[in-house]
Amino acid sequence: MAIEVNGKSIETDEEGYLVNLADWSEEAAKILAAQDKDASDNPFELTNNHWEVIHFLREYYDEYQIAPAVRVLTKAIGKKLGKEKGNSKYLYELFPYGPAKQACRFAGLPKPTGCI
Protein backbone atom coordinates (compact mmCIF):
# COMPACT_ATOMS: atom_id res chain seq x y z
CA MET A 1 0.00 0.00 0.00
CA ALA A 2 1.05 3.58 -0.46
CA ILE A 3 -0.14 7.14 0.07
CA GLU A 4 0.43 10.12 -2.18
CA VAL A 5 2.04 13.11 -0.45
CA ASN A 6 2.82 16.20 -2.52
CA GLY A 7 3.08 14.10 -5.64
CA LYS A 8 5.40 11.59 -4.02
CA SER A 9 4.36 8.02 -3.29
CA ILE A 10 5.06 6.86 0.28
CA GLU A 11 4.89 3.22 1.29
CA THR A 12 2.66 2.08 4.15
CA ASP A 13 2.22 -1.42 5.59
CA GLU A 14 -1.00 -3.45 5.53
CA GLU A 15 -2.19 -1.68 8.68
CA GLY A 16 -1.54 1.79 7.32
CA TYR A 17 1.67 2.57 9.25
CA LEU A 18 4.59 4.18 7.43
CA VAL A 19 7.23 1.69 6.38
CA ASN A 20 10.05 4.26 6.50
CA LEU A 21 9.83 6.61 9.44
CA ALA A 22 11.87 9.20 7.55
CA ASP A 23 9.00 9.61 5.08
CA TRP A 24 6.91 11.42 7.67
CA SER A 25 5.85 15.04 7.25
CA GLU A 26 2.93 17.07 8.59
CA GLU A 27 1.34 16.71 5.19
CA ALA A 28 1.72 12.91 5.41
CA ALA A 29 0.14 12.96 8.88
CA LYS A 30 -2.91 14.76 7.51
CA ILE A 31 -3.31 12.18 4.77
CA LEU A 32 -2.82 9.27 7.19
CA ALA A 33 -5.42 10.80 9.50
CA ALA A 34 -7.94 11.28 6.70
CA GLN A 35 -7.91 7.49 6.17
CA ASP A 36 -9.71 7.15 9.53
CA LYS A 37 -13.19 8.38 10.39
CA ASP A 38 -14.01 10.76 13.21
CA ALA A 39 -16.95 10.37 15.60
CA SER A 40 -19.38 11.82 13.01
CA ASP A 41 -18.08 9.48 10.31
CA ASN A 42 -16.19 12.24 8.48
CA PRO A 43 -12.53 11.94 7.49
CA PHE A 44 -10.40 12.50 10.58
CA GLU A 45 -9.02 16.05 10.72
CA LEU A 46 -6.08 17.05 12.88
CA THR A 47 -6.58 20.02 15.21
CA ASN A 48 -4.01 21.81 17.35
CA ASN A 49 -4.84 19.42 20.18
CA HIS A 50 -3.91 16.46 17.99
CA TRP A 51 -0.70 18.10 16.80
CA GLU A 52 0.45 18.66 20.39
CA VAL A 53 0.23 14.93 21.04
CA ILE A 54 1.73 13.95 17.70
CA HIS A 55 4.75 16.19 18.23
CA PHE A 56 5.27 14.87 21.73
CA LEU A 57 5.13 11.29 20.48
CA ARG A 58 7.75 12.04 17.86
CA GLU A 59 10.05 13.71 20.37
CA TYR A 60 9.70 10.78 22.75
CA TYR A 61 10.36 8.30 19.98
CA ASP A 62 13.48 10.20 18.95
CA GLU A 63 14.77 9.87 22.48
CA TYR A 64 13.69 6.30 23.34
CA GLN A 65 13.01 4.45 20.05
CA ILE A 66 9.52 3.50 21.20
CA ALA A 67 6.21 5.24 21.80
CA PRO A 68 5.56 6.22 25.41
CA ALA A 69 3.23 4.27 27.72
CA VAL A 70 -0.21 5.87 27.95
CA ARG A 71 0.56 6.94 31.50
CA VAL A 72 3.84 8.56 30.47
CA LEU A 73 2.00 10.35 27.70
CA THR A 74 -0.81 11.63 29.91
CA LYS A 75 1.66 12.85 32.50
CA ALA A 76 3.81 14.65 29.96
CA ILE A 77 0.79 16.22 28.27
CA GLY A 78 -0.53 17.28 31.69
CA LYS A 79 2.77 18.93 32.61
CA LYS A 80 3.15 20.67 29.29
CA LEU A 81 -0.42 21.64 28.47
CA GLY A 82 -2.23 21.77 31.79
CA LYS A 83 -3.84 19.32 34.15
CA GLU A 84 -7.19 19.23 32.35
CA LYS A 85 -5.43 17.56 29.42
CA GLY A 86 -3.33 15.16 31.49
CA ASN A 87 -5.69 12.21 31.59
CA SER A 88 -6.45 9.25 29.38
CA LYS A 89 -10.06 10.33 28.88
CA TYR A 90 -8.81 13.43 27.07
CA LEU A 91 -6.47 11.34 24.92
CA TYR A 92 -9.17 8.84 24.02
CA GLU A 93 -11.46 11.71 23.06
CA LEU A 94 -8.76 12.97 20.71
CA PHE A 95 -7.84 9.53 19.40
CA PRO A 96 -10.87 7.25 19.82
CA TYR A 97 -9.05 4.24 18.46
CA GLY A 98 -6.53 4.51 21.28
CA PRO A 99 -3.77 7.04 21.78
CA ALA A 100 -1.08 4.39 21.45
CA LYS A 101 -2.05 2.90 18.11
CA GLN A 102 -3.96 5.63 16.28
CA ALA A 103 -1.77 8.54 17.34
CA CYS A 104 1.37 6.55 16.53
CA ARG A 105 0.07 5.90 13.05
CA PHE A 106 -0.54 9.60 12.41
CA ALA A 107 2.86 10.42 13.93
CA GLY A 108 4.55 8.06 11.51
CA LEU A 109 5.81 5.75 14.26
CA PRO A 110 5.71 1.94 14.17
CA LYS A 111 2.68 0.26 15.68
CA PRO A 112 3.24 -0.78 19.30
CA THR A 113 3.03 -4.58 19.55
CA GLY A 114 2.40 -7.06 22.32
CA CYS A 115 -0.41 -7.75 24.75
CA ILE A 116 -1.76 -4.23 24.48
Partner 1 sequence: MADFDVPDFRPYPFVPELKPDAMKGKGPFIAKPVHQEPLGFPGELVDNWEEKAIEKMGDMLKKYRSFRVYLDTCVRCGACTDKCHYFIGTNDPKNMPVARQDLLRSVYRRYFTLAGKFFPKLVGARDLTRDVLDEWYNYYHQCSQCRRCSVFCPYGIDTADISMAAREIMDSIGHGQKYCNEIIAKVFKIGNNLGLPERALRDTLNGLEEDMEDDTGVAVKIPLDEKGVDVLLVTPSADFFAEPHIDGLMGYAKVFHQAGISWTVSSYASEAANFGLFIGSYENMRNISQRIRTAALELGVKRIIFGECGHAWRVAYSYLNTFAGPFDFLDPKYPVPQHICEFTYDLLQKNVLKIDKSANDDMVLTFHDSCNVARATRMGNFPGGQFVIPREVIKAVCNNYVDMPADTIHDQTFCCGGGGGLLTDDLMELRVKGALPRMEALKHVVEEHGVTHMAAICAICKSQFTKIIPYYGFQMDQIVSVHQLVSNAIVLDGGEV
Q: Which of 31, 80, 35 is nearest to 55 (CA)?
A: 80
Whole-angstrom Cα distance, residue 72 to residue 31? 27
Residue 88 touches partner 1, criterion: CB under 8 A: yes
For residue 66, the minimal CB distance to partner 1 (Å) is: 5
C-beta separation of 1 from 18 below 8 A:
no
Of residues 65-84, which lie at the interface with partner 1 (CB under 8 A)?
65-66, 68-72, 75
Catalytic-labelled residue, pool 9, 42, 47, 115: 115
Q: Which amino acid is at 40?
A: S
Classify residue 12 by burial, with Cβ atoms within 10 Å: 0-12, 13-18, 19+: buried
Q: Determine whether 104 is an active site residue.
A: no
Residue 101 touches partner 1, criterion: CB under 8 A: yes
User: Which of residues 8 and 37 has its CB atom nearest to partner 1 in the complex?
Assistant: 37
Phi then psi for residue 84, to 5 deg, are -65, -20
Q: Which stretch binds partner 1 (CB under 8 A): 3-11, 20-28, 42-50, 95-103?
A: 95-103
Binding site for partner 1 (CB under 8 A): 14-15, 64-66, 68-72, 75, 88, 92, 98, 100-101, 112-116
